[in-house]
Structure 1
Amino acid sequence: MLTNKEIQIRDPFIFPDHENGKYYMFGSTDKNIWGSGTGFDVYIGEDLAHWEGPFPVFRPKDNFFSNENYWAPEVHQYQGLFYMFATFFSEELQRRGTAILVSDSLTGPFEPHSDGIVTPKDWESLDGTLYIDEEGKPWMVFCHEWVQVEDGEVCAMPLSEDLKECAGEPQLLFCASEAPWATSFKHRARKSEHNYVTDGPFLYRASNGELLLLWASFVNNVYAQGIARSTTGKITGPWKHDDKPIYQDDGGHGMLFKTFDEELRLTLHSPNKTPLERPIFVKLEEEDGALHVVKE
């Protein structure tokens, strides 16, 4: 068994399996995610503190379209199967984007489902997540990367019912600079001094009906986790940002889930430096849509 302090992982994503009382933790598990991609693994545990694994759930075949930047796998159950949304660098397009894999089991193996990248072919994109709207229609919410647009964007794009391809044009939800807490930075490889990051969108419907969108950026070059709220309750917004991040201690790319005891948890990775990244679990309380960290 491994503890959280022994597991190097970025972008942790928890799938609670109520049938067998186990948590499945996916994430960016290559030792060096900035280079050649090995695949994705899963860790399995019962208490969010001790884990068995890692168990391989995706390993690319020789004809797979990507050889590097295997990032941020999320696993969602949809129409009886498990779909993995993950970021890859496309050798053909010479860009990053989100593709969709599928399996009939949480432990895989996951196989290609979409025909390569689903996000716009001429965009630098990453961190796609699945959202099912109030009419039962699937959307991908993802980031249009700052490396291309400087002021990183969060966008939503309708998907076909079978999740194989896009079913409409992407819609801009917001730019990173719209959040009062996010700060810009200068990058040595970019001319602009006003670069803003968007990372890791994740949707959560609060108990009061509010639709929340978690996303990550930086505060004075420190990784942080923020929250935006749809003023209409719909994925298309408009979106209003909380004044302050919910977590800003060099951690981000988070998601929310309920424990088997119905307690709300935020998981993210911290610190934001390879190879030191570890999964962090933060207990939250929700009051009329507002989320508060519970001191433990």
Structure 2
Amino acid sequence: MSDNVNDKEQQKQMEEIFICDDIWLEVFALFSPLELGHTMALISDRFDALVDLHFKHKKWSLGSLQILRAIDGNGAIVKQSSGEQLPIPQGPIPGKVIGFEKIEIRYIDRSVIEFLQSIRRLFTSTGTTVDIGTSADQSHSWEIIWQKIWPNLRSVDFRGLFPVFPADDNTDASSRQAMAKWLLTPREDGLPKMLHCDFYSPRGGMEEAFVNASESANFIIRPRPSLNVFRPCKLKNKSTGERLTFQQMDGDKWLLVRCPIERDEDKWAKWEKEAIERKWSRQWNCIFINFNDSDIGDGMGDANVDGPSEPNK
């Protein structure tokens, strides 16, 4: 009998303890959306209102998505990490969506391009890593990549040796020549391109190409740490008003920089610091492109269709 009385007293005391809304909203962050909606919201009217408030103010990530060809072969679908498959979203995404973990593109058509355009603000808000896994023999796929994606990249983590000059991105050019071509192609916003690559002397003809250049190009190259002994250099090209320097910046970190002779030191110091501190292997906000010629759908017959703009990494 006394035990029952104690239990009732404890329950009454618990009911009298008031936990403010702000504390509950912090606790809700530990629960999944499913748990909140199907468990916590059902406890009471107060909790139902608090769960609604939590969802209203919470910022969301798209998580990990795969874009695939639909099972019936018509159009594209989105596969979530949970395994659920949904049609390609149409229209703008909610303002509470602030990023994504990974989007793997294994099929592309006009609806996929429009979806990427609808989320392009996510590319510039925190930066985007683009990883290209398409095979080298998929010519139509690479035509789309070269024309619609390649020019918009600001930085590249190149899993190969230093670029080779003369720069060339024709079909018979090497990947190192194509990388040199990308470096020399200026961005519309004027920001310097950044490259992370293996580095062995000699420097692939870059110094000779720089001295003989008639057009300007701004870029920063950070070589991976190497057992090779790096040789500093400092050159000027009066025709383009530029300088090319290769120097040790911090410990084993070196930078090769092509920039104006008269430059905004504050801006370039910021960009050089960014190149040194950049997490080149970052996984958040990653787009993985891995489609082949057989995975190209309607509206992509002409590679000159308007593509998604401005992934900046």
TM over 0.5: no
Report the structure, 1 or 2, having the larger strand content: 1
Which of the pair has more CA radius of gyration?
2
Report the structure, 1 or 2, having the larger helix content: 2
TM-score norm. by structure 2 comes to 0.24
